[in-house]
């Protein structure tokens, strides 16, 4: 029980900080940790991670909304696409072997971390709505479909994919991108977790509860700090956070594949 508490606390710290600061899916951290140190089957670990992501993302979204850093209206199209394909991805992943873990997304997280560390204040011009309304909708649908499949299939990467899309493709500044990302992730994580538990049931209730609580607490703390920080400080903090979490997850994935 003590080992369980310590492992879940560590997982919650990493996942909460990643969610609150960078809009990162809690599953990117929680899934490999639970599988590696507690022996939780990957499919159920994904479900637990997504369930932990629900309240963590919701409380982070609330904090960003209070500070005017969420674009809810323009996120609806992407949200619908993400939700639809999260269900599909969750169903497909039911029979994936335990050793199958996502490496590409984690490497992308690491690279994104370097980018934000080097250029924490990158300014992106706002897209002209009148010029790109149709094109923006198409981009949102395609991006949402890809993000949903990743989130549902692997239980990880959705938040980071959204951060990349919102900053690089749709032109959001970092705070608005993170805020909008966690807003969408609250819904996708709920959909994905329900799908996982309906298909597989819940066998690690104590682990589920511990991960939800620890992730929620640290996500709230990280979101408050992020919204009080300047763009430069937040950008650099996000970069460092992503680099550290990327290294941790790559290491855990390596351990998993060699077990």
Which 8-state DSSP code applies to residue 157? S
Q: Which of 5-19, 30-44, 106-120, 126-140 has the lowest mean pLDDT?
A: 126-140
Q: What distance separates the 2 farthest-apart alpha carbons in the chain?
A: 58
Q: Which of 1-10, 49-58, 156-165 has the lowest mean pLDDT?
A: 156-165
Report the distance separating Cα 144 and Cα 83, nearest Å. 8
Tell me the CA distances in angstroms from 60 to 39, 41, 215, one per residue in order: 29, 28, 11
With pLDDT > 70 as the criterion, what percentage of the chain qualifies?
Answer: 76
Higher pLDDT, 200 or 16: 16
Mean pLDDT confidence for 103-120: 64
- Is the pLDDT assigned to residue 160 strictly greater than 80? no
With pLDDT > 90 as the criterion, what percentage of the chain qualifies?
Answer: 20
pLDDT value for 158: 64
Q: Using 50, 70 and 90 to split pLDDT, how confident is the model at 205?
A: very high
Tell me the CA distances in angstroms from 219 to 30, 205, 213, one per residue in order: 13, 21, 10
Report the distance separating Cα 35 and Cα 98, nearest Å. 8
pLDDT value for 104: 53
Q: Using 50, 70 and 90 to split pLDDT, how confident is the model at 154?
A: low
Q: Using 50, 70 and 90 to split pLDDT, how confident is the model at 109?
A: low
Cβ–Cβ < 8 Å for 152, 187:
no
Q: Using 50, 70 and 90 to split pLDDT, how confident is the model at 131?
A: very low
Higher pLDDT, 217 or 106: 217
pLDDT value for 76: 82
* Cα–chain center distance at 242: 11
pLDDT value for 126: 45
Q: Which of 86-90, 139-143, 244-248 has the lowest mean pLDDT?
A: 86-90
Q: Which of 35-49, 89-103, 187-201, 207-221 has the lowest mean pLDDT?
A: 89-103
The 10s digit of each residue's pLDDT in 12-22 is 998 898 889 88
Q: Using 50, 70 and 90 to split pLDDT, how confident is the model at 101?
A: very low
């Amino acid at each position: 029980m003590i080992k369980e508490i310590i492992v879940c606390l560590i997982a919650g710290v990493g996942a909460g900080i990643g969610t609150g600061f960078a809009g990162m899916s809690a599953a990117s951290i929680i899934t490999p940790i639970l599988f590696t140190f507690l022996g939780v089957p990957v499919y159920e670990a994904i479900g637990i991670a997504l369930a932990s992501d629900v309240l963590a993302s919701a409380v982070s979204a609330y904090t960003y909304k209070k500070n005017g850093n969420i674009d809810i209206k323009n996120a609806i199209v992407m949200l619908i696409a993400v939700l639809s394909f999260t269900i599909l991805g969750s169903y497909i992943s039911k029979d994936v072997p335990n050793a199958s873990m996502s490496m590409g997304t984690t490497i992308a997280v690491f690279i994104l971390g370097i980018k934000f560390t080097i250029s924490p204040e990158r300014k992106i011009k706002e897209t002209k709505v009148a010029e790109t309304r149709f094109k923006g909708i198409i981009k949102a649908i395609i991006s949402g479909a890809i993000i949903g499949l990743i989130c549902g299939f692997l239980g990880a990467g959705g938040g980071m994919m959204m951060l990349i899309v919102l900053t690089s493709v749709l032109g959001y500044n970092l705070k608005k991108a993170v805020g909008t990302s966690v807003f969408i992730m609250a819904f996708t994580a709920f959909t994905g977790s329900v799908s996982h538990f309906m298909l597989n049931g819940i066998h690690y209730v104590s682990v589920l509860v511990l991960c939800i609580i620890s992730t929620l607490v640290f996500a709230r703390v990280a979101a408050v700090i992020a919204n009080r920080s300047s763009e430069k400080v937040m950008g650099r903090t996000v970069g460092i956070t992503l680099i550290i979490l990327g290294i941790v997850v790559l290491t855990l994935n390596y351990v998993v594949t060699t077990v």
